[in-house]
Amino acid sequence: MELNARIYVAGHRGMVGAALVRRLKQAGYFNLITRSSQELDLRDQGAVEDFFSLENPEYVLLAAAKVGGILANNTYRADFLYDNLMIQSNVLRESQRRGVKKLLFLGSSCIYPKMAPQPIKEDYLLTGPLEPTNEPYAIAKIAGLKLCEAYREQYDCNFITAMPTNLYGPGDNYHPQNSHVLPALLRRFAEAQALGHPRVVVWGTGTPRREFLHVDDLADACLHLMLHYNEVAPVNIGTGRDISIQELAELVTELTGYLGETVFDFSHPDGTPRKLLDVSRLHALGWQHSIGLREGIEAVLQSEDWRRATSASSLSVVA
């Protein structure tokens, strides 16, 4: 992938897409193609056709998606399924038709069965039922992965797929209800500390275990795959290490300086009991993560991104 190659980063304003743009620029790539969702609705097949005809990208990194936490996934089930199916189908179709040299499709670790053996190998896909709360999003991502495989088999397209674990870092969503677990906890504990609340409520039992990867590590792994991987099999991207939600809450309590009580609300669903990716395939390709969880959270709490998200005007009362 030459430094002057025309590279389309779909979803460049999102958390993952922005990290990809940062990493590519850092590596010396300068001919990047981007469009905001206001400029290009990837759900619109005609608009996507016109865009590819105009820009003719040589490489595509498909990070555009409709994303959210458990509540959002479970509330807007039709939207998550439809929007993601349309986005990826249109981009993959035009990439095949226009002869894109290589495409990376970013899926999600939620594609794996809820009760998959741990750590989760790529081969466990479609071996059991999905987690019900985010099934529509997972089904869309599975469809995207299989569409990449089908285009590769039928048209010899160099479409590769990667499945990231839970992400955090610059550009994260800190919405009190619609964010993922780590940013949600950071927001709740920071608010409680700032507003002097005596307790913070954490959804679920605290027993589920999760793996967390800094988004800049993900971007580095994606570039590594674009340069060194050309096979049909999906590749898990993660750290190979997990932590319980209770342990995570304790870490967030420490790093935010919160002095109150933490209460676990058992009436809310836990989701998958454990979700740890087997990253041996990625390690065999010569890549490992470099940002530890404590280090990564500390960087988040010192960032301008975080200060904007938790400014006095954005704080809300913690229940």
d(CA 108, CA 208): 18
Q: Assess contact for 183 and 173: CB atoms under 8 A.
A: yes
Q: Assess contact for 9 and 24: CB atoms under 8 A.
A: yes
> b/e string for 157-180 if b means 16 or more Cβ within 10 A?
bbbbbbbbbbbbbbbbbbbeebbb
Helix ranges, 229-260 (H): 245-256
Binding residues: 11-17, 106-109, 141, 164-167, 180, 188, 203, 210, 270
Tell which residue, 64, 67, 88, has the closest CA to residue 79: 67
CA 20, distance to chain mean position in Å, is 12
Catalytic residue selected from 29, 59, 112, 137 = 137
For tokens 């009760």, the residue is 115
DSSP 3-state of 255:
helix
Q: How far is the CA of 90 from the CAs of 44, 49, 271, in angstroms?
A: 8, 8, 31
Tell which residue, 134, 160, 166, has the closest CA to residue 66: 134
Q: Does residue 258 carry a catalytic annotation?
A: no
d(CA 124, CA 112): 7
Contacts of 280 (CB under 8 A, 6+ apart): none
Binding residues for substrate: 188, 203, 210, 270
- Rounded to 5 degrees, what are φ and ψ at 59? -135, 150
What tokens appear for 28 in the block?
A: 């010396």
d(CA 105, CA 100): 13
Binding residues for NADP(+): 11-17, 106-109, 141, 164-167, 180
- Residues marked as catalytic: 137
